[in-house]
Amino acid sequence: MSNEELAYDFSPIIKVYKDGRVERLKGTDIVPPSTDPKTGVQSKDVVISQEPAISARLYIPKSTTATTTTSAPQTKLPLLIYFHGGGFCIGSSSSSTYHSYLNALVSEANVVAVSVDYRLAPEHPLPAAYDDSWAALKWVASHSDGNGSEDWLNRFADFQRVFFAGDSAGANITHNMAVKSGSVRLVGVKLIGIVLVHPYFWGTEPVGAELTTPADAREFMAAVWRFACPSTSGSDDPVLNPGKDPKLKQLGCVKVLVFVAEKDVLKDRGWHYSETLKRSGWNGDVEVIEAEGEGHVFHWINPTCDNAVAMEKKIVAFLN
């Protein structure tokens, strides 16, 4: 057997060779934590768990630095917990893309942020990412009484104003963490809202304009899911298709902001999610915003374009 023989080819995301080698084609460019020269936002990496390996990058805005060296009482800030995207198989909290994005968002919104680094498929198939994300949330919640292991969270985070957010697969994680927090309470934490950017949901029955989506694009979405979650029941798995989840109405927040992009194959899933949520009996407000002329996670490709700037402004308002 040639060591170049492919077992899976999900270009431009990831390739897996039959000899077991994994080649990640995106999301491998990592940067260290820092004090961002442009915004003054400080970041640092923390280990949440050694085994399994779970970590996070924490961010605090410049407004906190006046009191980081004193014992003066600090005005507590909203707490954002962010889950990165990448089809559950690429990306990290230290990727340059997410680091730049969260520096800007933390500065603009004046929030504290925790960017979660969960284990990736195929080495760690789902539900590893969900388990790790929940473990990270429990670790964050352990600071709600001001006596956790991480000083920044003890001092600066308002645990009565907590938000989850994520893009693509990270938006899927965000949603599923919010559903779980509706039935398994995170002690001391009040989840106000969630932000889903181009969420990775799917299903066997086409919704909206998916009937006209090319078959290969539909199969790609279903195949990435089977690759990331080999134990799945398929595309109607409740964690991938919220419409099949009897717990949907337990979503543990009062407001949801969904972003979709006109040219994204996942667009109709975002709209369908909103409609399904409204019908579920969940008692909250959901808003969907569609970016015209844009594709999936366009804001990573062109973070300064008008639609990306408008998205950031909307998220900033939502967090405040």
Q: Which helix (H) or strand (E) holds 276?
A: helix 267-279
Crossing angle (nearest 10°) for helices 306-319 and 96-109: 50
- Spot the catalytic one: 117, 167, 264, 268: 264
Beta pairing class for 54-60 and 42-49:
antiparallel
Residue 35 DSSP one-character state: B
Report which of 140, 125, 128 is spatially closest to residue 46, judged by C-alpha positions.
Answer: 140
Question: Which residues on adjacent β-strands are paired with residue 195?
Answer: 165, 257
Half-sphere exposure (CA, 13 Å, Cβ side) for 175? 31
Question: Could you give the angle at the alpha carbon of 199 between the alpha carbons of 249 and 76, nearest 5°?
Answer: 75
Report which of 84, 98, 237 is spatially closest to residue 168, judged by C-alpha positions.
Answer: 84
- Spot the catalytic one: 133, 144, 168, 235: 168
Residue 183: how many other CB atoms lie within 10 Å:
10
264 annotated active-site: yes
2 annotated active-site: no
Pairwise CA distance, residues 293 & 275, whole Å: 23
Residue 263: how many other CB atoms lie within 10 Å:
12
Q: Are 202 and 240 contacting, i.e. CB atoms less than 8 angstroms apart?
A: yes
For residue 314, the SS3 value is helix
Q: At a CB cut-off of 8 Å and minimum separation 6, what does 159 contact? A: 79, 141, 143, 144, 188, 189, 190
Q: At a CB cut-off of 8 Å and minimum separation 6, what does 315 contact? A: 105, 109, 165, 195, 257
9 annotated active-site: no
- Spot the catalytic one: 124, 143, 198, 296: 296
Catalytic residue set: 168, 264, 296
